[in-house]
Amino acid sequence: MIGFLIRRLLQAAIVVLIVTVIVFALLRSIPGNVAVAILGPSAYRNPATLAQFNAQYGFDKPWYSQYLLWLGHLLQGNLGFSWTLDQSVASLLGQRLPKTVILVGFSTIIALIVAIPIGVWQAVRRNKPVDYGFTGLSFLFYAAPTFFVGTVLILVFSVKLGWFGPEAPQGGIVNDLTDWRDLTLPVITLALVTIALFSRYMRSSVLDNITEDYVRTARAKGASGRRVLWRHVMRNSLIPIATLLGLSIPGILSGALITESVFNYPGMGYLFFQSAQKQDYPTLLGFIIVVAIATVVGSLVADILYAVLDPRVRYA
């Protein structure tokens, strides 16, 4: 296990490094001139200003020195400075991250609470109307584009019924919690898709476990059907869900780009979208680094959780 951990950590570091190279190369291949984008088109008439800007931010150096410069800053915890938003990338991410954690975190928790019982229920009532009904629903929400679901929810619950606000809370996280009526629709939109996914996994996981030998043993020893289901089958069936949770850690950081755009929610995903449109490289780079590290850590956590929860799994 220790050897496995060390190897995985090394791999993870290499993967993150490759990510930085890929993203940096990609973003440097953008046509157009950063200096002009920042200073405005009139800068073309003023070559001295252009040169000064390029020298100040290192754009006059070849791309590999720019990369190394940026990587050096990164190692010191400096993610760079967003010119378009006039703020350091770290503080920008620091502002947006809590918002996204609230949105994605809440919807993930709701999804778990709803999806686990549904999955178990479906498995127990396999090929009965209940099972077909929920399977149909999960196919529906898996297939529906998120922004379509979000828009329909706004139309029904905000425009028609007036229960919840059509736009997410714009302030800090305290504002999120006090304006829970505005937060409801974005959270539900995201939760619906997640429930569709989680309940499918839970259903098939319970079905796999229900035929295992240990279930028959427990039944033979006289345990009631209910006890076997909730004490034995349920606990083992949660293992894939734990893995799924590990894999959704990056989602909690990267945010839900589409949902955030629909509800104008100032989280990480929306920040990324705006930065891509404005070609704000430092923000894009900082964002991708954070998400990539989260993804790599997330899959590592998923692997470890898997071994902890299922003693049959052994990593050599």
Residue numbers at the binding site for another protein (CB under 8 A)? 11, 14-16, 18-19, 22-23, 26-27, 29-31, 126-127, 131, 135, 138-140, 142-148, 151-152, 155, 159, 196-197, 200-201, 203-204, 207, 250-251, 254, 257-258, 261, 272-273, 276-277, 279, 284, 288, 291-292, 295-296
Residue 231 CB, nearest approach to another protein (Å): 23
Nearer to another protein, 176 or 189 (CB): 189
Distances (CA, A) of 23 to 123, 171, 283, 288: 43, 31, 12, 8
Q: Where are the alpha helices (DSSP H) in the chain?
A: 2-28, 34-39, 47-57, 63-75, 89-124, 129-143, 146-153, 173-178, 180-210, 213-220, 225-227, 234-247, 249-254, 257-262, 268-278, 281-309
Distance CA 62, CA 58 (A): 9
Residue among 106 and 141 whose Cβ is closer to another protein: 141
Which lies closer to another protein via its Cβ, residue 228 or residue 288? 288
Tally of CA atoms within 13 A in the half-sphere of 253 that contains its CB: 19
Q: What does 188-202 look like in DSSP terms, one character per residue? A: HHHHHHHHHHHHHHH
How far apart are alpha carbons 272 and 204 in whole angstroms? 35
In whole angstroms, the minimum distance from the beta carbon of 289 to another protein comes to 10
What whole-number distance in Å separates Cα of residue 48 and Cα of residue 267?
38
Q: What are phi and psi of 294, to 5 degrees?
A: -60, -40
Residue with Cβ nearer another protein (96 or 176): 96
Q: How many CB atoms lie within 10 A of CB 153?
A: 20
Shortest CB 117 distance to another protein, Å? 17
- Nearest approach, Cβ of residue 198 and another protein (Å): 9
Q: If we measure between CA atoms, which residue out of 113, 137, 108, 135 comes closest to residue 123?
A: 135
Based on CB atoms, which residue is closest to another protein, 176 or 302? 302
Question: Are 86 and 230 within 8 A, CB to CB?
Answer: no
Closest separation between CB of residue 110 and another protein, Å? 18
CB of 286 to another protein, least distance (A): 13
Distance separating alpha carbons of residues 46 and 141, to the nearest angstrom:
54
Q: Considering the complex, what minimum distance in angstroms separates the CB of residue 35 from another protein?
A: 18
The smaller minimum CB distance to another protein, of residues 99 and 203, is found at 203
**Cβ distance to another protein smaller for residue 173 or 197:** 197
